[in-house]
Amino acid sequence: MENVSKLLEVKDLRVSFHTYNGEVQAVRGVNFHVNKGETLAIVGESGSGKSVTTSAIMGLLPKPQAEIKSGQILFEGEDLVKKSNKEMQKIRGADISMVFQDPMTSLNPTMKVGNQIMEGLIKHQGLSRTEARKKAVELLDQVGIPHPEVRINQYPHQFSGGMRQRVVIAIALACNPKLLIADEPTTALDVTIQAQILELMKDIQKQTESAIIFITHDLGVVANVADRVAVMYAGKIVEMGTVDDIFYDPRHPYTWGLLGSMPTLDSEEEELYAIPGSPPDMLNPPKGDAFAPRNKFALEIDLVKEPPMFQISDTHYAATWLLHEHAPKIEPPASVKKRMEGFAKTGGKA
């Protein structure tokens, strides 16, 4: 019965891109699940495979360059990998919706925002134009846009960046999706608006009980919105756990690096930590642990053999040889411990 609450389960997903230079292995055996009503954050630097993973879930990988080499994407028990494009069109927008990073790439500049919200309601829910318009006004109101009955007749350029992102969220919510994928939805916004959008997404989740996959490179954002966190590096998940697991007891050196590079309110005197080096070339992924060349705690085995996913607790897993019973006991760096203490002091606010 353990699958009852699993809305989405990704099993051993591998995605490659065929380029003139060869095969880029963007996603290399990713496993995770999302429960109903839960927020899972997927965190990692640019190029770690976060967005490719979610594009695969949505059936939006660019063909023929991209190819799902193997794996399953089970949504309510059905494998999305086996669905035709026509079948995926029915699922996209209705059962699974996406909020992209830049609202201007999601909105049609020549079309009134009301019509853009109504489109999905008419197509997926069979509403009349009058019903769809009424619902569109309600949605704009729900996402915090003042005077929605006036704003529904306006064009995207008449909205600020934060308001445009609210419109995109309204479009994504139009058909009451069971899963909402938010791909860096606050990156283009200033800090105040960012906080408002995150608060909005939390409120909406409480009201609709939809599950959310939240993609970000910013661990600070994660602390306040997620239930669980998957840390991705070089096309793999290297650590997975609850928010408390990741912030109070991180185990993978890459997670230490991400935490150490997070600014805190009292960190103006100290220099921010930067992870040395660059992510690997996925045309030729390194042998062993992909993070080893950037990891000052790397062991000899890291250069030759890939670590398995070690279980730390019922909720917490990490793929690092440092968790092997014969590995030396290494503590997180001082900068990371400071972040962990700061996180504890503020009661979980990054």
Tell me the average pLDDT of the chain.
90
Q: What is the pLDDT, as a whole number, of residue 2?
A: 46
Strands 22-35 and 179-183: unpaired
Distances (CA, A) of 50 to 167, 205, 217, 233, 325: 24, 22, 9, 9, 31
Q: Report the range out of 55-59, 164-168, 331-335 with the highest average pLDDT.
A: 55-59
Q: What residue type is assigned to position 254 of the chain?
A: Y
Q: What is the pLDDT, as a whole number, of residue 336?
A: 86
Q: What is the pLDDT, as a whole number, of residue 270?
A: 59
Q: What is the pLDDT, as a whole number, of residue 203?
A: 86
How far is it, in rounded angstroms, from Cα 232 to Cα 241? 12
Distances (CA, A) of 345 to 249, 279, 322, 334, 338: 15, 32, 28, 16, 10
Q: What is the pLDDT, as a whole number, of residue 63?
A: 87
**With 60 as the cut, is the pLDDT of residue 268 above it?**
no
pLDDT confidence bin for 65, thresholds 50/70/90: very high
Percentage of residues in the chain having pLDDT higher than 70:
94
pLDDT confidence bin for 157, thresholds 50/70/90: very high
pLDDT confidence bin for 348, thresholds 50/70/90: low
CB atoms within 10 A of CB 18: 12
Q: What is the pLDDT, as a whole number, of residue 1?
A: 38
**With 90 as the cut, is the pLDDT of residue 195 above it?**
no
User: Average pLDDT for residues 291-310, to the nearest whole number?
Assistant: 96
pLDDT in tens, 72-107: 999 999 999 999 999 999 999 889 999 988 877 889
pLDDT in tens, 104-127: 788 999 999 999 999 989 988 889
pLDDT in tens, 249-264: 999 999 999 998 877 6
Q: 271 in the Ramachandran plot: left (φ > 0), alpha (ψ -120 to 50) or beta?
A: beta
pLDDT in tens, 200-253: 888 888 888 899 999 998 888 888 889 999 999 999 999 999 999 999 999 999
- Domain positions in the chain are 233-345
> In a 3-state reduction of DSSP, which class is residue 78?
strand
**With 90 as the cut, is the pLDDT of residue 29 above it?**
yes
